[in-house]
Structure 1
Amino acid sequence: MSGQQIIIRDFEAGDIEGVARMFQRTFRGHGGRRHAGDGQKISKTLVASIEQSFFRHPWNEPGLHSKVAVDEAGRVVGFIGVTPARLEFEGRSLLAAFAGSMMVDDPKANPLIGARLLRAFLAGPQDISLTETANHTALGMWQKLGHPLDPAYSLNWMRILRPASTALQLLEWRVPFARLLRPFGRIADRAIAVIRRPSFGGGEARRLTFRDVTAEEFGRAMLVLKDVFAMRPQWDAQSIDWLIAQSEQKRSFGYPEWRVAYGPDGRPQAAYVYFAKAGGIGWVLQALSLPARAGEMVEDIFGHAYNYGCASVRGAAHPWLTPALLSRKAVFMGRSFYVVHARDKAFLEPIKTGQALISGIAGERWMPLVGDTFDD
């Protein structure tokens, strides 16, 4: 493909199958490097997810599009997925755009395509450009354009609940046959629990009572709790319901548990959703609370995940939540990277100070494309 003319243009519906094939090769390791039309089976759920995420989003803007790189034969050889977000900040309505799922077919032979795709994204009409899922390669491209990562939003955390089972889960990512050792991990964790049962309290009295709710009730709580943040999504009932419906499809992570705590006045004071998996690692998609209730919410997350049978629970970091996590024995690590750019630097201040709700369901991690397996 070296020496061919590569065109960067808007992503069109006719490109979906080509993007799906490249996604399977790049992120799911299906069959090595092959071109579209070579007989590779395409996941139907993957195709449907790409269409929903990039063509059916309720906040789609006419001038804001994902981008593809196309060679002279019309084959899709590069892609950057763009999803819109409408934000409010100090009474202003802002257009934000998240960039994710960036991939290039045979990047060694075409080292400049990724950078061209990223530049095309940054040249769009959005007030704020972001990503919360950049890998090391994508991060390098952002940095070369002068946009450093945001350390506070780039951290991921994990709370180990059952040490032996957690160790085996992490080993399975590298050695799949380690799953045969799961029964021994459960036996070891039972022995550990007999000696010292985990305690998730932070020492203060619990005032909140969390309860299981429906996804719809969780969404209504989010509409109230988002106002805690200076910069926040302009959700309404329709948009939050659509985002939640998409996130519910990420079943390879486990079963979604929706939890809300209400105050005496009937208003929500905290809410979170995580994907629970007995014996596996639970994954927190979104957690919101009044500032004074962050600790109690974290304790409920840990306790609920332990009672469900999770080996551990993890999630993406949020600056306002970090102190409550640190004081309750969560460990932090790097996994994916968060980068943000705005032409008006004033829009970056709430992000730098941790007063922006721009991740999870409010970001791009609601997408099934982020982490789902598409095994059909």
Structure 2
Amino acid sequence: MSAVAELFQRILRKTRRPATHALEAYLTGLFIEAPDHDPEIGSLVHVHNDGRVTGFIGVMPLPMAVEERTVRAAVCGSLMVDNHTDDPFAGARLMRAFLSGSQDITLTETANDISTAMWRKLRATVLPDYSLEWLRVIRPAGFVAEMAANAVGAARLLSPLARPIDSLIRRGAPGPRLSCLAAAVPEGTFPSAEVDDETTAALLTKWTEAYAVRPLWQPENLRRIVAEASSKALYGEMVRRVVTTRDGRPLGLFLYHGDPGRIGRVFQILAAPGRIGEVIDSMLAHANERGMVALRGRTQPVLLEALLGRRFVFLHASSSIVHTRDPTLLEPFLAGKAFFNGFAGESWSRLIGDRFD
């Protein structure tokens, strides 16, 4: 895996620093020695004529239920090709080899524009309702300062000046609801509390049962996924809370990473049927109390209606894609009845957002 780790550093992390043993060990554990390893659904490397490894597709098997049917899915994670100009068809060869595998369904949630074009040529389907990112500004001045700091690091020195501006905006904004201009906490927000790995895994299993397409995680593997999703040091501190009624009944779960004064990255929102709006309100209230300037996350069809009424902005950064040779397996994805993205994807892995020092 050392050659793959070096590719990861250069192509995906865009750094010339040598890959660490920790990164190489994680890639091995994720793509070769994982508890859910399937010998018939594996990762692939592209080898140049001179013997160099010049491409890689990281593949994670994911057993899924489609209605009452059990199928084999494969999640395409890290897709990278070195020196595309020397061999412009290397990526296409990797993709064709991967899609001709034993899986019934192939999924990816992080396809950039170049990858999406390749997927389309191979008759894959882009899922628009799963491919949007949402943004919710909580502190407008703080958000502008943070965006400037992301472009020019020294601009972060101006962040303290944004706080009094946001205080003025709040005092002048009418109404109790959160908006793009002020982040007053909604009245009647349900409480939330920190939750551990075991409870998270149990709630994941419970609240995904209503989906027509859902993962069939083995308990050992689900515990590993939940634990690893917490480790994203590049994004900030992990916040994982269960939302409850006044008498303690669980309504939903939200998980995001971020530090006060920064933009939080929401990894997953789950809810009992009909309660998604209340979970979103509780999440926004908590982020407001922590001093977040904004939250951003990925859509799922079940979230869209609730998001539309709460002053969210939508944009596109990468595409969620499904490929299958069986039209009956595609239908639930097109109808928005599949649980896909987040824990049912590749973004839970430490390769997205963590350090390997």
| Structure 2: segments with no counterpart, 5+ residues | none
Question: Which of 11, 36, 39 pairs up with 1:26?
Answer: 11
Relative distance call for 1:273 and 1:357 in structure 2 (3 A) is: same
Give the Cα–Cα distance (whole angstroms) in 2 for the partners of residues 52 and 186 of structure 1: 44
Paired position in structure 1 for 2:231: 249
Query: Match for 1:151 among 103, 125, 128?
Result: 128
TM-score, normalization: structure 2? 0.92
Which stretch of the first structure deviates more once superposed, 188-197 or 84-93? Answer: 188-197
Structure 1 counterpart of 2:198: 216
Normalised by the size of structure 1, how large is the TM-score? Answer: 0.87
Structure 1 CA distance for aligned equivalents of residues 239 and 197 of structure 2: 9
Superposition deviation, residue 205 in structure 1: 8.1
CA drift of 1:206 comes to: 4.8
Matches within 5 A, 1:97-246: 97-196=74-173, 199-200=177-178, 206=188, 208-246=190-228
Identity, in percent, stands at: 38
In the TM superposition, residue 43 of structure 1 has moved relative to its aligned partner by 2.6
The alignment partner of 1:251 has SS state of coil
Deviations 1:115-161 (A, max 9, x none): 11111110111110111000111011111222242111100001100
Which range moved further: 136-145 or 267-276?
267-276
Cα distance in 2 for partners of 1:204, 1:309 equals 16
Counterparts of 1:319 and 1:242, CA distance in 2: 26
3-state SS, counterpart of residue 302 of structure 2: coil
* Preserved CA contact (<8 Å) 1:276 1:308: no
SS of match in other structure, 1:325: helix
Asked whether the 8 Å contact 2:65–2:71 carries over to 1, the reply is yes
Structure 1 portions without partners, runs of 5+? 1-15, 32-39
Distance (Å, rounded) in 2 between the aligned partners of 1:168 and 1:208 = 31
- 2:296 corresponds in structure 1 to 314
Q: What does the per-residue CA deviation read over 1:70-128, in whole Å, with 9 as the maximum and x for residues that have no partner?
A: 12332211111111111112211111111122111111111100111111110111110
Select which of 279, 283, 297 maps to 1:297.
279
- Corresponding letter in the other structure for 2:127: D
SS of structure 1 residue aligned to 2:209: helix
Inter-CA distance 128–267: structure 2 relative to 1 (3 Å threshold): farther
Distance 1:166 1:128, change over 3 A: same
Q: 1:363 to 1:80 in 2, by over 3 A?
A: same
**Matches of residues 277-296 of structure 1 in structure 2 within 5 Å?**
277-296=259-278
CA distance in 1, matches of 2:288, 2:54: 44
Q: 1:297 and 1:290 mapped to 2: Cα distance?
A: 9
